[in-house]
Amino acid sequence: MDKERPLAIKTQKLSLWYGTFQALFDVDLEIRGGMITSLIGPSGCGKSTFLRCINRINERLGYVRTAGKVHVLGNDIYAPAVELLQVRKQVGMVFQRPNPLPLSIRDNVLFGYRIHNRDKGRLSKAAGDEIAESALRRVLLWESVKDKLGSPGGGLSLEEQQKLCIARLMPVKPAVLLMDEPCSALDPNGTEAVEELIWELREEYTVLIVTHNMAQARRASDECIFMLMGKVVEHRSTGEMFVTPRHKETADYIEGRYG
């Protein structure tokens, strides 16, 4: 693994319970900045739960309890003095199914920016146009939507909707992008397009991506984490893990012997 890059995410003894059911067990992970790390493992092994701990989505559920530490960019995001809005500014989330807001394409892009910049007063049209264009260009969507920015975001194709959801994060400038199976609802062409976009973002953002697609994990990540039954089994460079896994459980999963 690349020890030269600074840590973006560090968890220590992170455990989580849904009521009486324990979903994560003492997860210790160090995720480096400026690269793509994939999270793989069977359904129900805790991948998405772990992802949602990194931006505190789980706490909205009253029956969830967590223990341990989660540091993002050196800050304990569960410390009492840390506000949720601060965390969401640092950590952006892209979900399995594109979730554009019931707003125009332009207003979708500007939604997060407006929330995080309320103290700066009203956003001028010219400034808003500039921010929207920059974000849409960054996700390679500008050319296809520049003449219909007032149209509903939900009217785009699934691939375009997912790119729009990523564009919505760009003006906020988070340091970390969490992606929970962002290509699972897309066809092969859409998957390829979104993977290419994610790869282009890797030097500017730390990307943590959950995927069930072994080929995607192998081709679209620098490092890989294998989880099983709420525990981390292995965390290595992606190339090493897929060629010479250290643990039998990892090899069994990669080779499709259980899923």
Q: Are 9 and 29 in contact (CB under 8 A)?
A: yes
pLDDT value of position 59 = 78
d(CA 36, CA 144): 27
What is the share, in percent, of the chain residues with pLDDT greater than 90?
69
Cα 153 off chain centre by: 20
With 80 as the cut, is the pLDDT of residue 97 above it? yes
Q: Rounded mean pLDDT of 100-108?
A: 96
Tokens of 175: 């340091």
Q: Are 229 and 45 in contact (CB under 8 A)?
A: yes
Exposure on the CB side of residue 128, measured as CA atoms within 13 A:
17
With 90 as the cut, is the pLDDT of residue 109 above it? yes
d(CA 171, CA 122): 16
With 90 as the cut, is the pLDDT of residue 88 above it? no
pLDDT value of position 1 = 54
Tokens of 254: 């990669």
Q: For domain 7-254, which CATH number applies: 1.25.40.390, 3.40.50.300, 3.90.550.10, 3.20.20.70?
A: 3.40.50.300
Domain boundaries, the chain: 7-254
Q: Are 150 and 103 in contact (CB under 8 A)?
A: no
Q: Characterize 36-58 residue by residue with b for buried, 16 or more Cβ atoms within 10 angstroms of its Cβ, and e for exposed.
A: bbbbbbbeebbbbbbbbbbbbbb
User: Taking the alpha carbons of 211, 214, 217, 220 in that order, is the dihedral positive or negative?
Assistant: negative
pLDDT value of position 27 = 97
Residue 46, amino acid = G
- pLDDT tens, position by position, 8-46: 999 999 999 999 999 999 999 999 999 999 999 999 999
Picking from 222, 145, 160, the residue whose alpha carbon sits closest to that of residue 197 is 160
Cα 97 off chain centre by: 13
With 60 as the cut, is the pLDDT of residue 52 above it? yes
